[in-house]
Amino acid sequence: MQVVVDGILTNYVRQGNGRVVVILHGWGDSSKSWQQLASALSHNYDVVVPDLPGFGATKSPPKTWGLDDYASFIKDFLKKLNISATYCIVGHSNGGAIALRGIAKNIITTDRLILLASAGIRGEYKGRLKALRYAAKTGKLLTSPLPKATKNKLRAKVYQTIGSDMLVAEHLQETFKKVVSDDVRDDAKKIDIPTLLIYGELDQQTPLRYGETLHQLIDHSSLEVLPGASHFLQLDRPDAINSAIQGFLR
């Protein structure tokens, strides 16, 4: 399904009946990887999964966006769908950071929050951002005489080496840099609704210590750790994720 939100053609999936559960995917992801979970939850809930601007089949933002912009988009998206109240927001990775910012600033409201491998602990990114800027500047100088295809391959290798997702969505480079420089720990302190955090034991992108930090900051929160799971929990442990979410929502 598609709808125009703030001038952006937006793709989304909606299925089921009951109280509304909204799933926000992470950076570089889309609604497609959440089909199995959405289908399972739809037996009891009205599940809505948008492709966030710049990902999946949704058009890119018209300018550089940050967490506040994405949160405001979610507010307008729900209004466009005539959804006046949400029972739970599920945020994965960067989707979790968007949810934290939106709820903390009362941009979006919900009764419950689920954070799956949520990002948002940004202090560790300072050195990485400096490396990104240096690598980008150096890379442009060194590769300028080369064909475009060759330059892109070399740049991708450089960013992969320093652990950056920037080229996952190359058209959103400035938005990526803005998002990963925005820390949500102060936002977490303002969350006062029941919150479930689920992290994978082997997650390298948003390691377990992020979950432990957010758990300490968020009142009325609980933390579950999935042994052997990595960043994409919904793909690594679909049954465990579904069971944990269903139990929390009940």
CB 81, CB 167: distance < 8 Å:
no
Of the ranges 47-61, 132-146, 228-242, which one carries the lowest mean pLDDT score?
Answer: 132-146
Q: What is the pTM assigned to this prediction?
A: 0.85
Domain ranges of the chain: 2-122+183-249, 125-176
Pairing of strands 112-116, 221-226: unpaired
If you average pLDDT over residues 72-90, what whole number do you get?
98
Give 220's contacts (C-beta < 8 A, 6+ positions apart): 192, 193, 194, 195
Give pLDDT, residue 213: 98
CATH architecture of structural domain 2-122+183-249? 3-Layer(aba) Sandwich (3.40)
Smallest CA-to-CA distance from 214 within 201, 199, 226, 231 is with 199
Give pLDDT, residue 150: 55
pLDDT bucket at 45, cuts 50 / 70 / 90: very high
